[in-house]
Amino acid sequence: MSKVHIVTDSSICLPTRHPAYRFPVTIAPIRISGDLQTIEDDSDLPPAELAAFFDSCDTFPSANPPSAETFRRIYENLRQETDQILSIHSSGAMCSIVAEAEKASQHYLGRSSIQVIDSKTLSIGLGLIVQAAVEAAERNRNLEDCVRIVRGMIPRVYAVFFLEDLSYLDQNGMITRSQAILGNMLGIIAFLTMEDGQIIPMEKVRSRPRAIEKMVEFVSEFSTVQHIAILKNGAASRDEVTQLSDRLQSLHPTTPLTLHTYGPSTATCIGPRSLGVIVLEAEEDFS
């Protein structure tokens, strides 16, 4: 039996690039449409360019997921190499990428084993899940085992963000336009979390230091953590990120902590000037 091949999408940030080089991962492209320009989703896009692209748009940029036909071509090509495909994607509640992948997979029912999974997260959260799937595939685990590992991880991935421009909450239907305008006038910062793949406003704070304090409080609630990742952009100062990193590392001194710049598709959800933390909770040890 051939090895499992992993498919994901370009919203992904990997904790390290090494796994993707050791084992093939196919990345389906997401494109971001502005008023006059369309760009590829790319977490390596410099933060200044990301902010400039968003600032140049009179209307909010939108993420355009790969079509079912694009996924069908990807799956068709991979069927020449393997009969086991695991397609793991960013939250289906945020865009239609999971629906498009599922639509394409129906074409191969009874001919190939293609499993589409909604990670219910984004960016580095997706990356942590994909990395685990890659490592399982490298160990020659079959598709059923890889799916079980991935599904077991999804409930253990948590995310929080803070957002200064409340217009993005209005754009994504989380608050009214009048609330966004008033909040921006008052300098309100929204503290957000992800629940079942959706970004949910939790509370309001009045300063970036207080928002960072809320992130530290959030991470302090976990007794055992497998990985901590900070998602940043060009608006976060080096001192701010360093302070957050040091405080989170002091809570979990032996836990890997990585720093990532998020890409355009994540920015369509939380804006180009947010700061976030994603936590992978450790598995319970029943031994």
Number of helices (H), then strands (E), belonging to the chain: the values are 11, 13
Residue 134: inside a domain, yes or no? yes
Domain check: are 175 and 233 in the same one? yes
Instruction: Indicate if the pLDDT at residue 287 is higher than 50.
Output: no
| Distance, CA of 81 to CA of 83 (rounded, Å) | 7
Which helix (H) or strand (E) segment holds residue 247: the answer is helix 238-251
Selection from 190, 141, 179 nearest residue 6 by Cα = 141
The tally of domains found in the chain comes to: 2
pTM of the predicted model, to two decimals?
0.91
Residue 286: inside a domain, yes or no? no
pLDDT band (50, 70, 90) for residue 285: low
pLDDT of 32-55, one tens digit each?
998 888 888 877 778 788 888 888
The residue segments making up the domain with residue 66 are 5-155
Domain check: are 167 and 261 in the same one? yes
Selection from 229, 231, 227 nearest residue 263 by Cα = 231
Selection from 159, 179, 160 nearest residue 169 by Cα = 179
Domain check: are 217 and 110 in the same one? no
Instruction: Indicate if the pLDDT at residue 286 is higher than 50.
Output: no
CATH number assigned to the domain comprising residue 171:
3.30.1180.10
Domain check: are 163 and 182 in the same one? yes
pLDDT of 260-281, one tens digit each?
988 899 988 888 888 999 999 9
pLDDT at 133: 94
- For residue 224, give the 3-state DSSP assignment: coil
Residue 287: inside a domain, yes or no? no
Domain check: are 93 and 121 in the same one? yes
Identity at 146, one-letter amino acid code: C
